[in-house]
Amino acid sequence: MLVLKPFVAVLAHPERAWLVLAMASTLAGNLTIPGSVANLIVVERARRSRIEIGFWTYLKVGLPVTLLTLALGVWWLDG
């Protein structure tokens, strides 16, 4: 995220932009397995224990969680 510092600093509302950026980067990991390196590590470790977590299985949980947290984030940022 620090790579974006020069771009965010010149925006009209840089503090809000940082919050939106933080929220977006967090939500990426909630939605799909490849959205986060941590997700990939957990799925790989689970596979070693003979537990399969597939893309669609993860998405069944990740999609509602992402939509809920997105709605809450938008509500909080607009509030």
Reported as type and span, the H/E element at residue 41 is: helix 37-48
Domain count, the chain: 1
Q: Kindly state whether residue 9 falls inside one of the protein's structural domains.
A: no
Helical residues (DSSP H) of 10-54, grouped into ranges: 14-31, 37-48
- The whole-model pTM stands at 0.73
**Could you list the residue range(s) of the whole structural domain that residue 53 is in?**
25-79
pLDDT number for residue 28: 80
Report the distance separating Cα 49 and Cα 21, nearest Å.
35
- Cα distance between residue 14 and residue 10, in whole Å: 7
The per-residue pLDDT of the chain, averaged, comes to 91
**CA–CA gap between residue 40 and residue 58 (Å, rounded):** 11
Residue 12 included in any domain: no
- Residue 18: name the closest of 29, 28, 31, 4 by CA: 4
Q: Is 16 among the domain residues?
A: no
pLDDT, mean of residues 67-71:
93
